[in-house]
Amino acid sequence: MVCTVIAGGFWGDEGKGKIISYLALKEPLDFCVRTGSVNAAHTIWFKGNRYALHMVPGGFVYEKCRLLIGAGSNVDIKQFLEEVEQTRVEDRISIDSQASIIEEKHSAQDKASDHLKGLGTTGRGVGPAIEERVRRTAKLAKDIPELKPYLTDVSEEVNDAIDKGKKVMLEGTQGIMLSLFFGTYPYVTSRDTSASAICSEAGVGPTKIDNVLLVLKAFVTRVGTGPLPGELSKEEAQKRGWFETAAGTGRDRRSAPFNFELAKKAVTINGATQIALTKLDSVYPACKGARTYEELPKDAKQFVTEIEKRMGIPVALIGTGAEALDIVDRRG
């Protein structure tokens, strides 16, 4: 593996953070590039601590991993500085000079808009910030004195790393069903979330990608408004152990059983080469903490086999618990 793109297959919250943290430690990763913005929270459990990161790339768990935020991203300065302090990555994180800035006013506009409220946005201001960028009046990272020590050219660094055979991860946010282009419009986020868009935001061309790892949770969740096929009641979700609350906003997540049609669509649009199946232990509790395929119960194995058959690509990683290393790694 040289360059991997990691993308979400449903409505976000598939467990990308956990998979990234595992690969960061296991490979280990030399570079991890975050795309997207502060609306997304990637949850990582590491050494007994829980991190819900909106800005710092998930690869931070490996202490030698270079951390970058791509030109297509939107940076919340306060959030960035707080997370840099929390994760103690000051000496190994940089932002592309051309990343744009989310300001307080964008969040205020997001929260004040009845239209955006109706879509159930996170209220973090990402939509209004992107509007401003499209209007070409947005501030960029290079305009902000506090960010001066962190500026770099992400595209140049990452392409150079790929040419040298370093291990690089391009970290996507949300999932394909929240894509501005391919999702459940208008109940979507303000940008494309596909693997191609992740490459674009990082400044890496499609010929440089070796692997597109699609993260699918063993059941489906979404927060905010919009359609969710097969949606369960909150009571039923609680009964099944699938009830979750959002890492970023604390809102209830709606849930539904695994959806093969949506998964297939996600595989196609992302050009996925491998699947990471997360939270298998929430659907088959006997999987909890398993680290070999043999330990999984028969019905869980059948589920994995059916996914591989219908998607036509391997389920390479299986999540069996919250900690970074609770994974069945079938990559051989």
> Within its chain, how far is the Cα of 69 from the centroid?
13
How far is 233 from 149, CA to CA, in rounded Å? Answer: 49
The least distance separating ligand IMP from the CB of residue 276, rounded to whole angstroms, comes to 17
| 7 to 36: interface string for ligand IMP, x by CB under 6 A | ----xxx-----------------------
75 binds, among ligand IMP, Mg ion, none (CB under 5 to 8 A by kind): none
Q: Is 213 in the site for ligand IMP (CB under 6 A)?
A: no
Contact in structure between 58 and 171 (CB atoms under 8 Å): yes
Q: How many CB atoms lie within 10 A of CB 199?
A: 24
The least distance separating ligand IMP from the CB of residue 11, rounded to whole angstroms, comes to 6
22: part of which helix (H) or strand (E)?
helix 16-26
112: nearest Cα among 104, 123, 126, 127: 123
> Nearer to ligand IMP by C-beta: 3 or 223?
223
Return the ∠ at Cα 228 (arms to 119 and 322), rounded to 5°: 95
Q: Is 126 in the site for ligand IMP (CB under 6 A)?
A: yes
The least distance separating Mg ion from the CB of residue 38, rounded to whole angstroms, comes to 12
> Within its chain, how far is the Cα of 271 from the centroid?
17
Return the ∠ at Cα 175 (arms to 171 and 177), rounded to 5°: 155
> Nearer to ligand IMP by C-beta: 87 or 190?
190
List Cβ neighbours of 230 (8 Å cut-off, separation of 6 or more).
Answer: 220, 256, 257, 259
Q: Is 72 in the site for ligand IMP (CB under 6 A)?
A: no
**Contact region for ligand IMP (CB under 6 A) — 38-46, 64-72, 92-100, 266-274?**
38-46
Radius of gyration of the chain (CA): 19
How far is 241 from 246, CA to CA, in rounded Å? Answer: 15
| 216 to 255: interface string for ligand IMP, x by CB under 6 A | -------xx-------------------------------
Q: Is 14 in the site for Mg ion (CB under 5 A)?
A: no
Among positions 140-199, residues that touch Mg ion (CB under 5 A) are none
Contact in structure between 108 and 125 (CB atoms under 8 Å): yes
> Nearer to ligand IMP by C-beta: 87 or 189?
189
**Contact region for Mg ion (CB under 5 A) — 75-83, 110-118, 227-235, 240-248?**
240-248
Among positions 45-64, residues that touch Mg ion (CB under 5 A) are none
> Nearer to Mg ion by C-beta: 66 or 222?
222
Contact in structure between 52 and 26 (CB atoms under 8 Å): no
Q: Which of 28, 120, 271, 314 binds ligand IMP (CB under 6 A)?
A: 120
Residues identified as active-site:
13, 42
3 binds, among ligand IMP, Mg ion, none (CB under 5 to 8 A by kind): none
The least distance separating Mg ion from the CB of residue 166, rounded to whole angstroms, comes to 27
- The DSSP symbol for 185 reads T
The least distance separating Mg ion from the CB of residue 157, rounded to whole angstroms, comes to 26
Amino acid found at 187: Y
Q: Which of 4, 122, 274, 278 binds ligand IMP (CB under 6 A)?
A: 122
Burial letters for 156-165: b for 16+ Cβ neighbours within 10 Å, e otherwise?
ebbbebbeee
Structure token pair of residue 33:
């590039």
Residues near ligand IMP (CB under 6 A): 11-13, 39-41, 119-122, 124, 126-127, 173-174, 178, 187, 189-190, 223-224
